[in-house]
Chains A and B, each alone.
Chain A
Amino acid sequence: MNMKVIATKALFFTLSFFLLLSLLAQHGCSKPRVKKAVYVLVDTSGTYNQQFDKVQIVLRYLLGSLQSSESLALARIDSESFNEKNIIARMTFDSRPSMANAQKRAFLESVEQFGNNIQSSQYTDITGGILQAIEYLNETQATEKRILIFSDLKEDIKKGQVRNFPISFDGIHVVAVNVTKLKSDNVDPREYQKRLEQWSQRVEQGGGYWKVINDLNHLSQIIE
């Protein structure tokens, strides 16, 4: 076998190798890599605390959808929501699938424990909860950050608390899930619409994205 043949074979192998690499690279680089982080805020005020079964449905869906190295946190909205103590469970799932599965089981257990002992709060500090969520989400360094708010979106803060200031969302998706209507909304439905409009403006002015999902049959839209 002469050198020419060897050279041809070497060229063939090299070309094949580069072709394979380029195909892989094309396949791999076709979409930017996504790392998600979801922060779930649950309103525990008297007007909302009966809706936890719906929160559980969404959390189960999220636990099934989120992958290794992605983050999930559950926190309650009460009278003073800008507080680490309000976080019920938070986890960045391990890169090993078996460990991540174990973490998901532990998370689910925490959620069930919390569900059995929900204590109703007097006030509803939604802004405080959102600020806490933004802080957590920024720490995760995820590429897609989402805050899911299970609330009627009626903020009711303690006297003396300052919450009326702009918030920097910086690309965070805020999804209001299962926004319940209050009795007063039935008297004047414009109040409900006004509430949603106010939150939408607040989020979008802060550089975030706003979405409302009331039908839980479309769970996939929550993290899409």
Chain B
Amino acid sequence: MISFPILFLVSVVAGFVGAMSGMGGGIVLIPTLTFLGVDIKHAIAVSILSVIATSSGSASAYTRDHITNLKVGMFLEMFTIVGALAGASITIVSSTKPLYIAFGAVLLGSWAALLFAGEETYHAGEQDAFTRWLELEGSYPDYALGRVVHYKARRAYFGAPAMFGAGMIAGLLGIGAGAVKVLIHDLIMGLPPKVSTTTSNLIIGVTALAGTSVYLVAGMINPGLAAPVILGVVLGAFIGTRLLVRLTNLAVRRFFLIVLLVLAVEMIIRGIRGA
């Protein structure tokens, strides 16, 4: 058994890096736990349980600030939870090798997304009839601009199936997959960046719950892992968001790019060789 202090410390670091980079704790937590000798399925299970805590924690602040769009969240949740149930069910029956490779691929994807990440741009566009019928629009107080920003979402018919895919990745690999959800909100549905990140946080909580329920039934929630991981990741995420070092600093960004790449290559090699 891995000692409590080590598990706790690893989780604090994972939560901290996850919050700072906006990638979520699971991306760092799961590879590290497997390096410590935890079976990858158990690492995935405990990670997705901890995701409920970190995402609900930050979502609580954002909803009370009236930035989160509840209707967008609750419409898209219908699709992510079904995806998460499917994804987690696949993980349960899968052998471990493909899981390592899939995780490595998602890490590589995150690495590429971070490498090519440009300035956040937001273009308002024409709303279609279906999205209007869904009432997917709103306003939020932008304190930087000093005014209330009104916006209308669009292309919900593309957003919904894409969110099924995002939910599936979340359930399959035990991560929040917030980066994927934000991409869908930004690029497909045309939500302002602030609304898309905060609404994604809300969605991640229920999506993670759907995934966790599958792992609980499979007997993969190990309390000896869960207790230090939940406390550690939440503490790390709390410190990370308070510091607000949002990868603007070039050195931090470079460091994180290297970490992601090393973890990705390591996971893929382990997947090919067998852990």
A and B: interacting chains: no
Which residues of chain B have a CB within 8 Å of any CB of chain A? Answer: none
Which residues of chain A have a CB within 8 Å of any CB of chain B? Answer: none
